[in-house]
Each structure stands twice: as C-alpha cells, then as structure tokens.
Structure 1
C-alpha cells in the first residue's frame, strides 16, 4: 500500500499555522535546514495548505516535466494582476499557444542582433562612473538591464519618465509579493489596504506606458525589428491568429520583469563574489585581456570567453536569480511511490539544490573552474536549474546568458568593484533573489 508523504519526517508543525512562520521569516534558512535534516520529500503545512520540499533530482525533474499535472502555485497566480496571461503565469492550452507564438521571437539568430545594444548601453553607464566613487551596484545593474530590455522591446531609449514608471511598478510589485508571501497570500490585492492600493496604482501606470507604445506602433505601421514588432507579427501556424493588445501587454510585462530582474541580480551576485575572490577576478581579467585586448566585446567573442561564462554559471549557483519554484498538484498523484494529495504545493529550491554538498564539493566556495569539462551536462537534471527546466524552461535563457557575459566583460575590463566593508549583504527571497539593502561598492578604475 502506498504511503502518504505526510508519514515522512518533516519540520514540527506549530499549531494551525504549520511551518508558515518559519518559512515567512527566514525562507532560505528554513528551506536549507529542511533540505539537510530530512529526506528527499519533506512534508509540511504552510498555514492550512499541504506542501512539501523536494530534494531528489528525479522528483524535481518529474514535477517540472509534467506541466498539466503540476501547475504554477498560488503565489505566482497572485501575480496575474501584474503579468496577466503572460508565459510565466498562464497554464494549459493558453500557455502552449503563447509559447508557440513566442518561440521564433527568441531564436538564437534573432537575439544575437541585440548584443551591440547591450554593450553600447553598458559603455554609456560606465561613462558616468568615477574612480573612487561609492555606488549601489544593484541599483546600477537594475537600471542598466531595464534600459536594455526596453530598447530591445520598443526600439526606443526609455531612460526618461516612461522607464521610471516601469521601474517603479516592478519595484512595487516585488515589495508587494514579498509582503504577501509572508502572509501566505491570504490577503489578495482587492483588499483596500495601502500596499494593495500602491500596487494597483503602479500597475495602472505601467499599463499606460505599454498600451501607449502598442497604439503608437499600430498607428505608425513601422517595423524596426524590435521584440514588439516580432510579437505583433507572430502568427499561429494552425489558425493564423495574432496576439490581441491585451496578450501583447501581458507578454511585454512578463518580458520586462523576467528580462531585467534576473540578469541584474545575477550580475550583482557576480560583483559580490569577485570582490571576495580576487584570484577569480585575476583569471577573469587575464582571459578578457587575452581575447579582447582593449576593445569592447561582441557576441562573436562569447565562444572565446569560457571562463567568463563559468563565472556567470557559478554566480547563479551560489546566488540563484530565483530561489525557489513551486507547483500545485491538480489531482491526487504519486511521487517516488508516495501519495501526494490534490492541491499540495511542491517546492523545488534552487537555493537548496545549488548549494547542497551532496552535489557540489565545497558548495559554499566560489569556484568557476568546477564548470569545466561540461559539468552542467553531466549533472543529473534537477540539480542545477537557474532557468527552470522541462517544457516551461525560461524562453529567454539564451538572451539572459548572452547579456550577462557581455555586460560582465564590458564592465570588468574597466573597473574593479570593491565591497564597502560592513555593508550588510542580505539575500531577500521575493519573486527573485535580490539584495535586501542593495550592494555598496567603491569603484576602482583600471588604467
């Protein structure tokens, strides 16, 4: 007879709230402890909600592969007011239809054309950096990656009020999501409390910007080859249908969130780690000097910069841009021979898996060399998954990796970033993993 997952050992339940308080207060610490102290399926209750943490790669792969049996969790569904029916939040046939429409937009050859945009914007940012200056590099990376994603979507430099509206909306959304996560998404956004009103107003402001861009493009009939044009031209192979303005809005909002937040957080983690590991920084600079000399990088250089790419992979291991993915079982099912009830939330944590000593020797140490000899391909699926996995793997993975390598190469050539002593570096587990208090660095110009 099959056992229930709730017969397995897990954290002690604290009255009716279960493990909700522990998970809400210190999610990274709580999940790490569960992953180290218990088995491959760790049952718990978050409030009245049954949940479990999966730490066996096979189980993680199974859940991420079966997209109809395991759907996005209640937490991500709470973001539908921001993302609508975009790729990140839609399900079933709606998701499949949109994925098919969007797949050609992210073809390798198409995104390659954005390499020059990425380097140009980075060099413009560096012109404003001064030797000896103290800066919040997380804010700088957020601004830079947002400007890049806005340029690639709209073919316009939106470093004015429009970009500020979008940046503000996304920041408010992150704060709102973090607040709701701590409450286990019990109070939804319709309840008229100040943080919900602020969230609603920010989305309306962002929508005005997006719809204005769509309307302007439709009126002009232009096709500058940006992502908006590609999205507007995309046709369903089966019925020839195109995206409505609402669908365009949802995909653009999703691209703006996913397309800048994760890359900026990855690069912020890189600067923290390079400052702590000067030997890694020296090897990185040696490769950049050998391949580039004094010139700027281009997409053609990426295959010649293997160590630079390893630095990015290792930074995403130690500071994964997303700390956890969650799915909800749509019906009673089995994982590893154990019964999982319908409605159970299945948690798969990149933070836990990427740092687990079972899979990575000296797992707390920043060692890019570990990615040599195709380590990523040799690891079991479900061990290292910064972009997710299965049919819903991030569609922008190639775009993000290209951007991260080009931005790192462009900046590291010209500046060393030295962490300000005693500035608290505290990872905040929201939709993404971002520094709670920013990252203060002193700039040292490389002559």
Structure 2
C-alpha cells in the first residue's frame, strides 16, 4: 500500500515526531502510572492522524471504540462458538465497525466531490493506482477500519515492552537519551535523516521486538506440499509459526536470551538475515506497516528517554502481567517517570505529584520544544 511504504513514512517523519514529543510532555512525573492506556492513546492519535490528517479528530473516537471491540472479542472464554453464532462480543464489534464506516463515508465523499483528496494515506487511496485503477468507495470503507486500528494496536503492545526495558537497563536508556540530542528543538522539523541517525535507538527497539514480539504466533497456510525438517506438510495445511521461540534460537542469535541491542549494529549480525527476524512477519504476508511502526516506536523511545528516567514501583512482585491473547503484552504495567538530570532521578519513596495529569502543552521537559 503506497501510504505505508518507507518513502511515504519518511516524508511525514515530522508529524510522527511531533506526536511522540507531545506524549513525552504529557507523561505525569514522579508518580506511578499505568503505561499501556497512555501509550495506546498517544499512538492512536499519531496513527489516526497519519491516515486521515485534518479529519483525524472526527475519526479518532470511532477508531478507539473499534479497538476496544476487537479487544473484547479476543478475550478468553470458556466457550468456543462457531463463527456463525452472533455472540454479544461479535455484535458489539459489528456495531463499532458500522459506526466507523458511517463516520468515514461522508469524509470520502466530501474529498472526492471537492477534488481535494489530501496528501495523507486516505488521499493516496483516493488516487488511481497503476495496478488497481480507481478504488471504489466500498473497497476503501472495507479496508481502512482495520488498517486504522492496526496503526496503534500492535505498536502499543510493543511500546509497553520497550518502556519496561528502559526502566530495566538505565545505561541503555542513557545511551538512547544521548543519541536523541541530535533531534531538533522543534519536533515538527524532524526529518528522516534525523530518524536514520538514531541507530542505537532503532537497535534497542528491534532487540526488544526480538525478545518480546507482540505478534508471538503467526498462522500461515501451505500453498504446496513441502518438507520441513523431518516433517511432510501437505498443501492446504495450516502452519503455526512462533517468532518468540524462533528469535531465541541459538543457531541464529548468539546469547539469545540476553538483551543486547548492539547485536543489531554489527555488520555480521545474524538478526538482519531474511527470515530470522519475524516481529513484522515475512514474505508476501509481512506487515505493510513495518516502516510506520518502527518510526513511531523509535521516536517515542527517543523522546521518552531524552526527557525521563523510568523505574518500576518497588516491591517483590512485577508491576505487570504477561498476557498472550491477541498479542504478547505487559497488561497493568506501571512505571514512574523522573525528569532526566533531576537530583531525584533514582527512584526513592512513593510520593505523588498533586494535580495528576498536566494540561496539554504542559510544563514537562518537552514543553519548551513544543511552544
């Protein structure tokens, strides 16, 4: 899809960076906060804006509710109902899908009738392509809801693991913070050149995705009979591929259970070989949004590490639970953000900052860069 290609993402790096900086500026400091809802809201704003630009505020509430409907549908149940049974969760998902489509339809018609298609992802879908020609309205309405939710659904799970690793490995977080100093004072002025210069940050993101791939189980269907090791797989068979275990294969990754972002900076490193890194899938069914996801996660990581030192709440128990339904996620993850360079950067005590969330625009470390 043209709007998700690396070149298209590179052209809009500044918009993605601006959203990441806003998220960093709004993070409540010196108090334990649940991370995933914050991250999901921030990435939803970035992702929906990437697809719809000025129409994003209209569609963001519908995208959020559709995400929640999909999440409800994926929750474990004691019963496995046939797909034809209209369970309450399936009816709820259908209602949200219809609501999203009904909100999107007048936007598509307005853009087409005015001739102002826009230069966002929707605008590119409204233009004829050499391969498919002019897409019908229904084709666009059938395609975009799923793509919209996908822009922030899996990246939100990945961001939870990334921020947790920033808390676990303060030296790595410090290296990311130092590297982020190359970013311009005005986040909107960030370019793909700035993004490409964040080599260690990208390596850290990929290393976390290697150890904790959000899509930890992939489903594929064999198109022809083939031999896999000592097993014969018939054409039409369903094959389950587990990136989690593949990424910890010592034949492909030295010290596979060790967090070592530097492995991605080695020219001879095995992670870059085709078919070895599966966090975004591989082959013709690989994730089309890989470039967008990497840009979002890299800039989010850089902005957070630049502004804050993260830590887990003290105690013998982890501040999260690992779940695998729908994706590998750190549900309930709580972290504390202390302004980087502060005398109290090392976590001590459990004092709470009065007033809770800062106002949009805020007074946090990133506020000056957003004014």
Match of 1:212 in 2: 106
- Superposed displacement of residue 428, structure 1: 2.2
1:428 aligns with 2:320: no
Matches within 5 A, 1:234-313: 234-237=128-131, 241-289=133-181, 291-292=182-183, 296=187, 297-313=190-206
Given the superposition, is the C-alpha separation of residues 115 and 192 from structure 1 closer, same or farther in structure 2, using an over 3 Å criterion?
Answer: same
Match of 1:179 in 2: 76
Which residue of 113, 135, 147 corresponds with 2:45? 147
1:362-389 deviations in whole A, cap 9, x for unaligned? 3232211121223556665332211111
Q: Distance in 2 between matches of 1:275 and 1:418?
A: 5
Q: Which moved more, 1:346-355 or 1:291-300?
A: 291-300
Q: Distance in 2 between matches of 1:216 and 1:190?
A: 36
1:380-421 deviations in whole A, cap 9, x for unaligned? 533221111112222222222222212221222112222234
Q: Distance in 2 between matches of 1:190 and 1:218?
A: 36
Relative contact order, higher structure (CA 8 A, sep 6+) = 2
1:191 aligns with 2:89: no
Match of 2:56 in 1: 158
Are 1:275 and 1:418, in contact at CA under 8 Å, matched by a contact in 2?
yes
- Superposed displacement of residue 360, structure 1: 2.6
Unaligned stretches of 5+ residues in structure 1: 1-101
1:131-151 deviations in whole A, cap 9, x for unaligned? 213322211221111111211
Are 2:221 and 2:238, in contact at CA under 8 Å, matched by a contact in 1?
yes
Q: Which moved more, 1:301-310 or 1:192-201?
A: 192-201
Which residue of 128, 152, 160 corresponds with 2:26? 128
Match of 2:209 in 1: 316
Which residue of 286, 289, 294 corresponds with 1:393? 286
Are 1:105 and 1:227, in contact at CA under 8 Å, matched by a contact in 2?
yes
Q: Distance in 2 between matches of 1:357 and 1:426?
A: 27
Match of 2:267 in 1: 374
1:75-105 deviations in whole A, cap 9, x for unaligned? xxxxxxxxxxxxxxxxxxxxxxxxxxx2x33
Q: Distance in 2 between matches of 1:271 and 1:345?
A: 35
- Superposed displacement of residue 305, structure 1: 1.7
Are 2:63 and 2:149, in contact at CA under 8 Å, matched by a contact in 1?
no
Given the superposition, is the C-alpha separation of residues 375 and 386 from structure 1 closer, same or farther in structure 2, using an over 3 Å criterion?
Answer: farther
Q: Distance in 2 between matches of 1:331 and 1:398?
A: 30
Are 1:150 and 1:156, in contact at CA under 8 Å, matched by a contact in 2?
no
Match of 2:36 in 1: 138
Given the superposition, is the C-alpha separation of residues 178 and 345 from structure 1 closer, same or farther in structure 2, using an over 3 Å criterion?
Answer: farther
Which residue of 328, 331, 335 corresponds with 2:228? 335
Count of residues paired in the alignment: 337
1:359 aligns with 2:244: no
User: What secondary structure does 1:164 align onto?
Assistant: helix
1:90-127 deviations in whole A, cap 9, x for unaligned? xxxxxxxxxxxx2x333433222221111222233333
RMSD, aligned α-carbons = 2.6
Given the superposition, is the C-alpha separation of residues 270 and 157 from structure 1 closer, same or farther in structure 2, using an over 3 Å criterion?
Answer: farther
1:336-368 deviations in whole A, cap 9, x for unaligned? 463223443211111111123343333232211
Given the two structures, how large is their TM-score scaled by the length of structure 1?
0.68
Are 2:51 and 2:122, in contact at CA under 8 Å, matched by a contact in 1?
yes
Q: Distance in 1 between matches of 2:6 and 2:184?
A: 27
